[in-house]
Structure formats: C-alpha cells, structure tokens
Amino acid sequence: MPFIRTNVHQDTSQEQRQAIVDGIHRALVESIGMPEDELFNMLSEYQSHQFWCSRTFNGIARSERVVVVEITLRRGRSDAMKRELYAAIARNLKSGAKVSPKDVLIFMHENDYSDWSVGEGRFAMGLVQQAGTD
C-alpha cells in the first residue's frame, strides 16, 4: 500500500489537483501493479516563499510551480519498475494535469510490512500472515 504525499503550488486549481492525484494513482496501478483501491494520497499546498529549489539543477529548467511527489511503499520493486513509474507519473501529469515534466520532482521511501499499520491499529505484518481472513 503506497502512501503518497503530493505538494502543489497554492494557485493550483481543484481540477488540476484532482488530475494530479489521478495521474499518480494511474501510474502506480499500471507501473507497479498496485491494486486500484489502494489510493492514499495526501495533497498539500505551498506558497512561493515556502519552497526553494534550484531552477537549473541537473540541466533541467524548472518553473516556480514544481509538483513534489513523495512515495512511501513496501520495499521490493526493481529499478526498472521504478524507472517506469517515474516516467509514467511525469507522462500522466503532462497529459492529464498540464504539468511540465520538468516540474515533476519524485522521491521514494521504501520500508517493510513491519513499518505499517493500515487500520484498526493492527500490525500490517499480521495482516500479511493472515491474508484472506476478516
């Protein structure tokens, strides 16, 4: 179950925000096989004076409206899967939300089942060991 934190400029419209969330979710489903119903994306906004980043780092010309996508998920995806995920997110945000791929910053945190509780205060490792029970 990936947990996503997405940060957008405060002037981002509600329609564009929804398209950003949808594009990220679609990329996760298509690239790493995440189930459709695993949508957990906390979207926050920032003002121009709250986020500083190099506008030219690594030869990429960024605007002042960078979309920051932070993904936390269970360890185990290959570099090839991650590469496809990042490309799909950038592609989806360009086509669906009109965000320049140059303005998409993605980073990932990986952890294990023991680092999660996904409901009822239950240790996620127990859920894995008891798959299919209620």
More confident residue, 109 or 116: 109
**Ranges of each domain in the chain:** 3-129
Tokens for 88, please give them. 């799909």
Tokens for 24, please give them. 């990220």
| Residue 57 vs residues 3, 66, 84, 99, 105: alpha-carbon distances, Å | 27, 13, 22, 18, 11
Is residue 21 within 8 Å of 6, Cβ to Cβ?
yes
CATH H-level superfamily of 3-129: Macrophage Migration Inhibitory Factor (3.30.429.10)
Tokens for 38, please give them. 């695993």
User: What mean pLDDT value characterizes the chain?
Assistant: 91
Q: How confident is the model at residue 11 (pLDDT cuts 50, 70, 90)?
A: very high
Q: How confident is the model at residue 125 (pLDDT cuts 50, 70, 90)?
A: low
Model pLDDT, residue 123? 76
Q: What is the mean pLDDT of residues 2-28?
A: 97
The residue among 122, 98, 93 whose CA lies nearest residue 27 is: 93
At 84-113, the pLDDT tens digits run: 999 999 999 999 999 999 999 999 999 987
pTM (two decimals) = 0.88
